[in-house]
């Protein structure tokens, strides 16, 4: 590879990294990881104890026996089990994560963008009114000048 090709490849890579969607994606991944840790702590610290008030504190231990006898745990388990507790725990984590992202990020950003758009439209509306008014004034000035020219030429 020549120096020119290396420079071109590096410039292309830099342009790729600096595009807005790549940076946005990186930020989203970092924020998503942070929210995942928070949600996991909420599920383990609040949801699981609440579920534990009615049964076992660990959601992963909830299961149903599809084909018995279902005895033992882990690799020594016999029978066919449906581990619906794990699915429930993952579903709760997903719903809580989605709610946090929606209410703390998406909804405020949508409201902010709506306000910015409303301000922009209001500004454009005001600008159009001013332009129309200025146009009318210019037409009046033109008509007055034309009338003065007509009067001035007729008097000579």
Q: How far apart are CA 38 and CA 30, in angstroms?
A: 13
The Cα 55–Cα 48 span in angstroms is: 10
Q: Is the pLDDT of residue 20 over 70?
A: no
- What's this model's pTM, rounded to 2 decimal places? 0.50
Q: What is the DSSP string of 51-119?
A: HHTTS-S-GGG--EEEES---SSGGG--SEEE-HHHHHHHHHHHHHHHHHHIIIIIHHHHHHHHHHHHH
Q: Which long-range contacts (CB under 8 A, 24 or more apart) does 105-108 make?
A: 105/31
Q: Reduce the DSSP state of residue 82 to 3 states and report it.
A: strand
The position carrying tokens 């709760």 is 92
Distance CA 116, CA 56 (A): 50
Using an 8 Å Cβ cutoff, are 82 and 66 in contact?
yes
Tens digits of residue pLDDT in 129-139: 666 778 888 88
**Residue 39: is its pLDDT beyond 80?**
no
State the Cα–Cα distance between residues 43 and 89, nearest whole angstrom.
8
* Average pLDDT value for residue range 21-49: 80
| 3-class secondary-structure state, position 65 | strand
Residue 156 is predicted with a pLDDT of 47
Tell me the mean pLDDT in the region 102-114. Answer: 87
pLDDT at 116: 92
**Which long-range contacts link 27-33 to residues 24+ away (Cβ below 8 Å)?**
31/105, 32/101
Compute the distance between CA of residue 90 and CA of residue 84 in angstroms, rounded to an integer.
Answer: 10
**Residue 153: pLDDT above 70?**
no
Mean pLDDT value of segment 37-42: 80
């Amino acid at each position: 590879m020549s120096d020119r090709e290396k420079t071109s490849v590096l410039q292309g890579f830099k342009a790729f990294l600096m595009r807005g969607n790549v940076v946005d994606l990186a930020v989203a991944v970092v924020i998503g990881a942070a929210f995942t840790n928070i949600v996991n702590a909420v599920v383990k610290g609040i949801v699981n104890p609440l579920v534990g008030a009615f049964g076992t504190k660990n959601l992963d231990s909830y299961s149903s026996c599809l084909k018995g006898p279902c005895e033992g745990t882990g690799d020594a388990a016999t029978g066919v089990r449906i581990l619906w507790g794990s699915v429930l725990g993952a579903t709760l984590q997903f719903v809580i994560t989605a709610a946090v992202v929606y209410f703390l990020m998406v909804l405020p950003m949508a409201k902010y963008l709506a306000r910015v758009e409303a301000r922009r439209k209001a500004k454009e509306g005001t600008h159009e009114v001013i332009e129309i008014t200025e146009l009318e004034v210019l037409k009046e000035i033109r008509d007055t000048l034309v009338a003065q020219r007509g009067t001035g030429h007729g008097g000579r």
